[in-house]
């Protein structure tokens, strides 16, 4: 097992040193998760639910690797990161070497190519803005592969006060209700929602169709148990 990073700030600082994708594709929604969002998600999984340390972890749609790397740095037993884009996976491997994360296996493939069972699936999937239903495909696959699933989705919580409060404190979360649509989808695929937390996310201007310097929005972290078969 790797040395456990205990302080959340240390994890956030390590993840903020990862190199970004050099040529991200809008159609694959290749936004990198902000380091503070990744650290918050990983800390909840590791220390509120005990689903990282010593566990077999899968990062579906790993991109440049922040979630997989964070899991490895927190002490996961074994980590697999998979992404359909070879360039993203190459950069993830560069980032792993930079951070000294040894126990991560990187796979350049579609999420459907992954087999086996994992204790924990972490994912920041395409939200389905470019390709409708992309996030649902990831959810379905995550529930086939994992016992616990931590999945980020575009928030359906539209309370401006919640948004303003979270924008000021990027490392905080607020419990919210699940989207009825996602709740039904998750249950239909054998999952049960344990909690949903809203958090503020900021992505920088990346693509030509972005009109603002940065885009701030709310994302919901779904914590899902795979129901026993």
Ligand X SMILES: C[S@@+](CC[C@H](N)C(=O)[O-])C[C@H]1O[C@@H](n2cnc3c(N)ncnc32)[C@H](O)[C@@H]1O
Applying CB under 6 A, the residues found at the interface with ligand X are: 28-33, 61-63, 66-67, 82-85, 88, 110-111, 124-126
Rounded least distance, CB 158 to ligand X, Å: 21
- Distance, C-alpha 32 to centroid of its chain: 9
CB neighbours of residue 43 within 10 Å:
17
Composition of the chain by helix, strand, coil, percent to 5: 35, 25, 40
Find the shortest distance in angstroms from Cβ 113 to ligand X: 8
Kindly state the smallest distance separating residue 109's Cβ from ligand X, in Å: 7
d(CA 21, CA 38): 16
Q: Cα–Cα distance between 72 and 3 in angstroms, integer?
A: 9
Q: Are 216 and 168 in contact (CB under 8 A)?
A: no
Q: Which is nearer to ligand X, 121 or 224 (CB)?
A: 121
Q: Is 31 or 118 the residue whose CB approaches ligand X more closely?
A: 31
Of 62 and 71, CB closest to ligand X: 62
Closer Cβ to ligand X, 56 or 154, answer by number: 154
Q: What is the Cα–Cα distance from 18 to 96, expressed in whole angstroms? A: 8
Query: Could you tell me the smallest distance in angstroms from the CB atom of residue 161 to ligand X?
Result: 27
- Phi and psi at 41, nearest 5°, equal -60, -45
The full length of the chain comes to 229
Q: Locate tokens 């899991």: which residue?
A: 71
CB of 51 to ligand X, least distance (A): 17
Taking the least distance from each CB to ligand X, the nearer of 128 and 165 is 128
CB of residue 20 vs ligand X: minimum separation in angstroms? 9
First to last CA, the chain: 30
Residue (160 or 173) nearer to ligand X, CB: 173
């Amino acid at each position: 097992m790797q040395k456990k990073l205990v302080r959340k700030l240390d994890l956030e600082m390590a993840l903020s040193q990862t190199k970004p994708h050099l040529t991200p594709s809008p159609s694959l929604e290749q936004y990198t998760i902000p380091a503070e969002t990744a650290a918050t998600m990983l800390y909840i999984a590791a220390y509120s639910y005990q689903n990282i340390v010593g566990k077999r972890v899968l990062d579906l749609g790993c991109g440049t690797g922040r979630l997989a790397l964070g899991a490895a740095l927190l002490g996961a037993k074994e980590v697999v990161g998979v992404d359909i884009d070879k360039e993203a996976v190459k950069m993830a491997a560069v980032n792993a070497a930079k951070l000294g994360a040894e126990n991560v296996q990187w796979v350049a493939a579609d999420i459907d190519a992954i087999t086996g069972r994992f204790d924990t699936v972490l994912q920041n999937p395409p939200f389905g803005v470019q390709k409708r239903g992309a996030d649902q495909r990831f959810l379905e696959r995550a529930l086939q592969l994992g016992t616990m699933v931590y999945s980020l989705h575009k928030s359906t919580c539209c309370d401006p006060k919640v948004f303003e409060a979270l924008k000021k404190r990027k490392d905080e979360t607020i419990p919210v209700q699940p989207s009825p649509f996602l709740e039904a989808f998750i249950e239909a695929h054998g999952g049960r929602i344990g909690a949903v937390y809203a958090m503020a996310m900021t992505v920088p201007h990346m693509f030509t169709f972005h009109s603002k310097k940065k885009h701030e929005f709310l994302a919901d972290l779904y914590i899902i148990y795979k129901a026993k078969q």
